[in-house]
Chains A and B, each alone.
Chain A
Amino acid sequence: MNRHQDTSNHADNRIDATLRLLAHAQPPAEFEQRIYVRLHDESARTQKSLAGRFGRFFLAQRIVFASAAAALACCAIVIGSVQHSRQRAFPATGVHLSAPGSGLGAASGTRIAPAPIAAPEHARARAERKATGGRATVSRDAHKPKGVAVPESTEPEKP
């Protein structure tokens, strides 16, 4: 029993001695000074690289920024186009108005005179053409302006 106790004590003593050795380890000379110097260096380096870090960030992300800018430009084009289309007043379906003075338009387009047409002075209608047997006939008493020669009708007049 005593022998076992002695062995145990010896082991404990050795363990304690080694742990004491570690617990009393002394840092080398000027240990704290070196820590301060390293902290100062690190702090200065961080300050100097702060501006550079922003630059590096934008440089590293340039693909992302370029893609974002391209997407934004595409969106602007599409939105602008849609806005422009909505601003144009479309007429009812089937009636095609050509832009005035543009000279362009569909053949079936309704053309509206740019100004109202004034009525003739004597409110006289234009000569009516009555086709009979494929030939134009002009009545004898048709009022004709002076100096206008009217050919004789080949068709005999009915009484």
Chain B
Amino acid sequence: MSSFEAQVADWFYTQPVLKTREDVSESITALVAEYSTTLYRVAYSVTRNSAEAEDIVQETFLRVLRHQSKLAEIRDARVWLVRIAWNLALDRKRRSKARPETEDIADLVRTLPSSERRADDEVISSQEHARMLALIDQLPAKERQALLLSALEELSTSEIAHICSTTESSIRSRIFRARRELAGLLRKQRRSR
């Protein structure tokens, strides 16, 4: 191979790889570092499956990569990312309704560090958590979304309102209604047992 051919081959085969490294820009890297855990929790609260939640987070950042030209226009990256992840998780949940769900709640309860638990949490078994989550699934979509997002410490009421495209007062009333309905469902469940 002549030196010219070698140069051309080198250009063709190494240049895309170099560009690839440059393409995963610093801004996306920073977004991954800052929001990946929050997005994982958002996805997990819907799917309750570790592998699926991870897949959803990866898919969220792939979308960011595809639309990285719009990154400069995004005012609140957290709101934008959580909205993408939430929608992806809902799509995944809808599609997976046909097949039996594999929830990792028992694993989560087991692996949760004791520092994250409260004294009264100890007495609640993973089965009880699963029952509670089943009740949460029975809530109307808007109330469920507000309740699950309010559980995340990283998100303020204002941010949840932006994610749900509504006002803060609406979010507060949705959370209140959700809790009231859940308490009612719990009472019913206890009576039936």
Which A residues are closer than 8 A to B by beta carbons? 7-8, 11-15, 17-28, 31-32, 34-36, 38-40, 42-44, 46-48
B174 to chain A, nearest CB (A): 14
B108 on the interface (CB 8 Å rule)?
yes
With beta carbons under 8 angstroms apart, the residue of A7, A23, A27 that contacts B151 is: A23
Q: B116 and A14: CB pair below 8 A?
A: no
B124 on the interface (CB 8 Å rule)?
yes
Contact status of A21 and B24, CB under 8 A, knowing A12-B183, A35-B61, A39-B62: no
Q: B65 and A43: CB pair below 8 A?
A: yes
- Enumerate chain B residues within 8 angstroms of A27, measured Cβ to Cβ: 36-37, 40, 50, 53-54, 57
Stretch at the interface among B77-85, B89-97, B126-134: B126-134
Which B residues are closer than 8 A to A by beta carbons? 16-17, 19-21, 23-24, 28-29, 32-33, 36-37, 40-41, 44-45, 50, 53-54, 57-58, 61-62, 65, 105, 108-109, 111-112, 116-118, 120-121, 124, 128-129, 132-133, 136, 147-148, 150-153, 179, 182-183, 186-187
Q: B36 and A31: CB pair below 8 A?
A: yes
A–B Cβ pairs within 8 angstroms, 8 of them:
A11-B187, A15-B182, A20-B118, A22-B148, A23-B151, A31-B36, A36-B29, A42-B65
B72 to chain A, nearest CB (A): 19
- Enumerate chain B residues within 8 angstroms of A22, measured Cβ to Cβ: 41, 44-45, 148, 151
User: In the bound complex, how far is the Cα of B57 from the Cα of A35, in angstroms?
Assistant: 8
Q: B36 and A43: CB pair below 8 A?
A: no
Inter-chain pairs besides A19-B150, A25-B45, 16 sampled, C-beta below 8 Å: A15-B132, A17-B124, A18-B132, A22-B44, A23-B45, A23-B152, A25-B41, A26-B112, A27-B40, A38-B58, A38-B61, A42-B65, A43-B23, A44-B16, A44-B20, A48-B16
B52 to chain A, nearest CB (A): 12
